[in-house]
Amino acid sequence: MKRAIYAGTFDPITNGHLDIIERSAKLVETLIVAVAKNPSKQPLFELAERVELVRQSVKHLTNVDVVGFSGLLADFAQQQNAQILVRGLRGADDIEYEIQLAQLNNKLSPTLETLFLPPSVEWRYLSSTMVREIFKHQGDVAQFVPACVSKALQYKR
């Protein structure tokens, strides 16, 4: 009965995130998508908006829950009774940081293991920052994000 957490800022959720969510949800009993408040990033979307956009994007998945959180991820995982952290590993640039984070989270909560998934090849280059950048310069982001995000972005112009 494994419960896993996939955490991120999701400002906004992209097709790359959705790919990781869909694939990891097949590996566990319940996947909790944890949307970080993350004030250090000064997000474009408020926490409640980001949670709602993730909810709409995953509504076809029956074993996925979406919640907002602040504070330490290791503490949140304990509260949620989750044993696994899912992380996407897009390439060599991610590895050092991700291993450090995995070890730190395991130190903070020794029963917590990190599971890395490579992204599907078409989303390897994608990030929320790039989506926001394309949007800022009036580009069309429809191919990179769920439809609800494209729609929500129009109200940010």
Binding status of residue 129 toward ligand COA by CB under 6 A: yes
**Minimum CB separation from ligand COA for residue 2, in Å?**
19
Query: In the complex with ligand COA, which residue's Cβ is closer, 20 or 149?
Result: 20
| φ, ψ (nearest 5 deg) of residue 131 | -60, -45
The one segment of 59-67, 72-80, 135-143, 148-156 that binds ligand COA by CB under 6 A: 72-80
Residue 17 annotated among the catalytic residues of the structure? yes
Q: Which residues sit opposite 84 in a β-bridge?
A: 4, 113
List 41, 107, 151, 156, catalytic entry: 41
Residue nearest ligand COA by beta-carbon distance: 16
Binding residues vs ligand COA (CB under 6 A):
7-9, 11, 14, 16-17, 20, 36, 38, 72-74, 88, 90, 101, 104, 119, 123, 126-129
